[in-house]
């Protein structure tokens, strides 16, 4: 009997080891819920959600299909395989009616990529190419990746689609040089919108490794808001980043070699707006407990070429009883000076 029990325990431990090693939630991968004919699917478990990632990796982009999450899902801190690849970006809609929570998302490696400005990607969704994510909360996410990564809790690389009414609570995001990192999206490229999202108690830390920070961008909503060649309009509106409830939360680039005359590309809402980018940034709010929470006081609501950017209006920030509007490192004093 002892030998049988020992053998069963060994099998269980082996399964857990394999699940952890391959980025599979304990409980495995369940794709039995999927068929070729339905346009909408209802998921309840981490295994079913992992099945979605596998289906997309194998060629089903879910364009025009809806994934409804019916119950809170705990990913248990097991290494997550992002949904969507370079070959098959995710184009479906993931949503909930009652604001369910996905907790304990953990990402410790990135997906290989050549199209995201040469960066790899990491996030709950790796590549979002349409569709979107709606009315979902992500709690206690942990992302730790290397250099050259577009990383975020919700979508690493976003080119099309919408992210709306999504909340990120208590996330910790860390990466290396030449990365774009945000709580909602790492990089928003030629098209797409992020609206009415909330970020609280979150830290985003980029270690530049004693190199120039050129190409290193971090923001509370999105790291980089850019394009290459022809593009359609992008929108960042109605979002709120609130760090006031956690004085330890911060957005910062460490060990960088500052280029003379250049601001640090760390923003409470957007890390960097590329020159001549087409889109709208309006009605976003940044709330701080201390100005040092944004790059030791050297960051504003947005950094980048906002003065060349249409639709940049009605953004506001506050720190205690001090407030400011439309803060940008290129055309306004830095936050630490503004609040004196």
CA atoms within 13 A on the CB side of 218: 35
What integer is the mean pLDDT of 199-214? 90
pLDDT value, residue 1 = 53
Q: Is 291's pLDDT higher than 60? A: yes
User: What is the pLDDT at residue 14?
Assistant: 44
Across all residues in the chain, what is the average pLDDT? 86
Q: How confident is the model at residue 114 (pLDDT cuts 50, 70, 90)?
A: low
Confidence of residue 211 (pLDDT cuts 50, 70, 90): confident
Q: Per the confidence metrics, is the pTM higher than 0.85?
A: yes
Of residues 23 and 306, which shows the higher confidence score? 306
pLDDT at 278 over 80: no
Q: Which residues pair with 279 in a beta bridge?
A: 234
pLDDT of residue 11: 43
Of the two residues 326 and 281, the one the predictor is more confident about is: 281
* Minimum mean pLDDT range among 80-84, 89-93, 115-119: 115-119
Residue percentage of the chain with pLDDT more than 70: 83
Instruction: Give 323's contacts (C-beta < 8 A, 6+ positions apart).
Output: 316, 317
Q: How many CA atoms lie within 13 A of 144 on its CB side?
A: 5
């Amino acid at each position: 009997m002892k030998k049988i029990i020992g053998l069963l325990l060994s099998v269980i431990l082996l399964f857990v080891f394999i699940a952890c090693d391959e980025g599979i939630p304990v409980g495995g991968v369940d794709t039995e819920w999927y068929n070729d004919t339905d346009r909408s699917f209802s998921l309840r478990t981490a295994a079913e959600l992992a099945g979605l990632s596998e289906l997309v990796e194998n060629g089903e982009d879910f364009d025009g299909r809806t994934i409804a999450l019916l119950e809170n899902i705990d990913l248990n801190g097991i290494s997550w395989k992002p949904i969507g690849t370079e070959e098959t970006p995710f184009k479906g809609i993931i949503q909930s009616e009652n604001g369910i929570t996905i907790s304990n998302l953990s990402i410790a490696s990135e997906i290989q990529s050549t199209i995201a400005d040469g960066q790899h990607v990491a996030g709950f969704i790796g590549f979002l190419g349409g569709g979107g994510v709606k009315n979902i909360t992500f709690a206690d996410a942990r992302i730790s990746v290397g250099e050259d990564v577009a990383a975020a809790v919700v979508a690493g690389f976003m080119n099309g689609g919408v992210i709306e009414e999504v909340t990120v609570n208590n996330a910790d995001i860390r990466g290396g040089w030449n990365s774009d990192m945000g709580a909602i999206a790492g990089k928003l490229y030629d098209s797409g919108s992020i609206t009415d999202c909330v970020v609280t108690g979150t830290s985003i830390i980029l270690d530049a490794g004693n190199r120039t920070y050129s190409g290193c961008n971090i923001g509370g909503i999105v790291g980089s808001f850019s394009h290459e060649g022809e593009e359609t309009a992008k929108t960042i509106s109605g979002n709120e980043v609130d760090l006031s409830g956690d004085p330890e939360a911060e957005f910062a680039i460490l060990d960088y070699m500052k280029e003379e005359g250049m601001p640090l590309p760390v923003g409470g809402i957007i890390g960097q707006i590329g020159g001549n980018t087409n889109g709208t940034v309006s009605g976003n709010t940044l709330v701080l407990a201390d100005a040092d929470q944004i790059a030791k006081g050297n960051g504003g609501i947005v950094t980048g070429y906002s003065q060349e950017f249409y639709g940049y209006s009605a953004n506001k920030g506050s720190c205690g009883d001090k407030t400011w509007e439309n803060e940008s490192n290129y055309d306004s004093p830095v936050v630490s000076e503004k609040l004196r």
